Amino acid sequence: MRESRTENLFTGSIPELYETHLVPLLFEPYVADLTNRVAPRAIESVLEIAAGTGVVTRNLASVLPKAVSIVATDLSQAMLDKAEAVGTQRLVDWCQADAMQLPFPDNAFDAVVCQFGVMFFPDKAKAFSEARRVLKPGGAFIFNVWDRIEENEFANTVVTAIGPMFPSNPPQFVVRTPHGYFDLRTIQQDLANGGFTVPPQISTVTKCSRAKSARIPAIAFCQGTPMRNEIEARDASRLGDATNIAAEAIARKFGQGPVEGKMQAHVVVIEN
């Protein structure tokens, strides 16, 4: 089943909340892991796909030699606009692009990097074939995906808490998309279907998600992801209620002050 591009849109106020809440909560803890898999390689050019608001881009720009060119793309121009507004330490070429139809020639990059974006691609094998097409021979495709939602405590708590608000049609975006692409055999098969012939190296990496209060992850998930679109489509007046219910559930489980929760992801490295 192909996912809807519409339901996954990061528009309106989502990019701002994504950058201020989701990035420090979920993405920053994995940035160094991904960058450290790129930096030791002898490379001249890097393409980042599904760059979002640029948290990995900023790290790549600060770690990689200035001679290494960085191109960062995302399907959402709003997310790229936010990334450009935050800025980087050196020049980055920002480009709106669909990962399933990349506007770059064959054999153009030494590495293709994607942090927590693969799950959003409606046709994974097609996106993988595009990543392989633009990679130089011997180049590497490096990406990560979230493990099942039960291994990611804040996400699971939020989804479980707000589900009863809409019993006949609970919001399932977080389960279906960010945490819906965790099966390793499926990932391996999609890579093979995309034309990769070398077996991938896959490691499972566990991190700790931290926030100053329970309300931060509640806002992050309910208002800073496309789950917001799901909630508002059911009853726009209940977005605040959903956020409050999620915050209360997190506080009950993780405490009233600063909160910590387990999160887990799979990291994939495959050579072209």
Please tell me the predicted confidence (pLDDT) of residue 35: 97
Q: What percentage of the chain exceeds 70 in pLDDT? A: 95
Asked whether residue 72 is assigned to any structural domain, the reply reads yes
Asked whether residue 90 is assigned to any structural domain, the reply reads yes
Whole domain around residue 41: which residue ranges? 14-271
- Decide if pLDDT at 2 tops 50: no
Per-residue pLDDT tens for 136-193? 999 999 999 999 999 999 999 999 999 999 999 999 999 999 999 999 999 999 999 9
What single letter denotes the amino acid at residue 213?
Answer: S
The pTM score is 0.93
Asked whether residue 8 is assigned to any structural domain, the reply reads no
Per-residue pLDDT tens for 217-269? 999 999 989 899 999 999 999 999 999 999 999 999 999 999 999 999 999 99
Residue 54 in tokens: 């640029």
Which of 121, 184, 99, 120 is closest to 147 using CA atoms? 184
- Decide if pLDDT at 12 tops 60: no
Cα distances from 226 to residues 173, 190, 240, in angstroms, run 7, 25, 15
CATH number at residue 101: 3.40.50.150
Asked whether residue 130 is assigned to any structural domain, the reply reads yes
Asked whether residue 66 is assigned to any structural domain, the reply reads yes
- Decide if pLDDT at 99 tops 60: yes
Query: What is the mean pLDDT of the segment spanning 109-123?
Result: 97
HEC letters along the chain: CCCCCCCCCCCCCHHHHHHHHHHHHHHHHHHHHHHHHHCCCCCCEEEECCCCCCHHHHHHHHHCCCCCEEEEEECCHHHHHHHHHHCCCCCCEEEECECCECCCCCCCEEEEEEECCHHHCCCHHHHHHHHHHHEEEEEEEEEEEECCHHHCHHHHHHHHHHHHHCCCCCCCHHHHCCCCCCCHHHHHHHHHHCCCCCCCEEEEEEEEEEECCCHHHHHHHHHCCCHHHHHHHHHHHHHHHHHHHHHHHHHHHHCCCCEEEEEEEEEEEEEC
Query: What is the mean pLDDT of the segment spanning 100-115?
Result: 98
Asked whether residue 6 is assigned to any structural domain, the reply reads no
Asked whether residue 1 is assigned to any structural domain, the reply reads no
Asked whether residue 4 is assigned to any structural domain, the reply reads no
Per-residue pLDDT tens for 41-98? 999 999 999 999 999 999 999 999 999 999 999 999 999 999 999 999 999 999 999 9
Please tell me the predicted confidence (pLDDT) of residue 14: 78
Give the count of domains, the chain. Answer: 1
Query: What is the mean pLDDT of the segment spanning 102-125?
Result: 98
